[in-house]
Structure 1
Amino acid sequence: MAASLRHAPSAAPLAAVLDALPAGSVWQASRIADHADTCHPSGFAALDRELPGGGWPAGALIELLLDQPGVGELSLLLPLLGGAPAERWITLVSPPLLPYAPALADAGVALSRLLLVRPPQARDAVWAARQAAASGSCAAVLAWLHMPDNTALRRLQLAAEAGATPLFLFRPLAAARQSSPAALRLCLTPAAGQLRVDILKRRGPPLARPLLLPIR
């Protein structure tokens, strides 16, 4: 025991090593992580102020938890989808409802670059979402998957990282009780014509109070 203590590194050299690292290399849990060069603005200033890097992470799994479809989840993403580069695809995997094309077009979404994928099996939907995210050809992937397990979630996160693509996974509110490798988890609920956003997980301290965002 004495020998192990004698050779243990002191705190001072460790502090010196950390101080020598480039700014932003070390994330402190008491601060919001800063990755502005790998994020896309959400289009909502109040939300961007609370998201690490000031927007949606470019290569990460993002969970949006909601009680039922149609609470404003697509309106939340319209600024991102409407600003997508013309050469990139927007892929929707197994949406529970058919997206309303006129509203998407009005928001600037290029309908000719919209892919709607409806695999017959749950495992095929996971595979399709992974392939779309990892391809690097999509501006965003939106997926509604039936009860993905932890292995599927980890693979989705790795696919998003590999393709530097934001992969939005829509899940029921009950999933909030489960652990997830997602870099960002938001709970969405309607609130008198607005959208209430509770940030359940981010690289930074917990958000003390929910956000209320104006949506269409």
Structure 2
Amino acid sequence: MPKIKSGLAFDLEGPVVDLERNGHHAAHLKCAEAVGLTLTIDEAIQEIPHFLGGPDEAIAQDLYELGDKKLNPQEIHELKDKLFAEWLKGQKKLPTRAGIFDFLGEVKREGVPMSIGSAIKKKLAYDYVARAGLQEFFPQKMIVTGEDVVHTKPAPDIYLECARRLGVAPKNLIVFEDSGRGVQAGRAAGAHVIGMPVYYTQEVIKKLKDAGAQEIYSGWDKVDLKK
């Protein structure tokens, strides 16, 4: 990781708050079963084009095209939302990626400004940050969402807005992402982009590299701020 010059921006879901494995992805796999597809995570990553990074509408369309057509894309999308909402309701405190609090604490002690750059709705982003106990690191004014920009990921708008709010040049921004669309957004903004995937597999690593990730780590304990 390059020595931090100015600021950091984090995609929220995946690198920071771990809603992917047991939340979004589990719901998508249940939707796949509803249209006659029995897939493991690895198979879903390989066979469903938008499985990593979404958006959900695109994943629903993928499942419709691959499945038995018993549900249309809208019905698949609605089922996914229902399943995810049920899972989310049962979480007293939202799970976070291992090591993220230690990493953020070190960044804060170094005096480096931080922001969130997420394509989700603002209300959800605020709720997730609060329920994960991350407010001390990410005040609401430093949470940029898809509602704050004209074009969402993979366009650069979200990370350009992160840089603006942090008061840094985009070229001095370091972005942490877990999806190809997010990596493309960071690179398009001119930032240095680091992959922090939920699944550290060769297939995922290749997707992130192909999207332009300049470094890829398996977890927060692997990232050295001093380098």
Q: TM-score range by the shorter chain?
A: 0.3 to 0.5
Give the TM-score, by structure 1 length. Answer: 0.38
Computing the radius of gyration over CA atoms, which structure comes out larger, 1 or 2? Answer: 1
* Greater strand share, structure number: 1
So what's the TM-score if we normalise by structure 2?
0.36
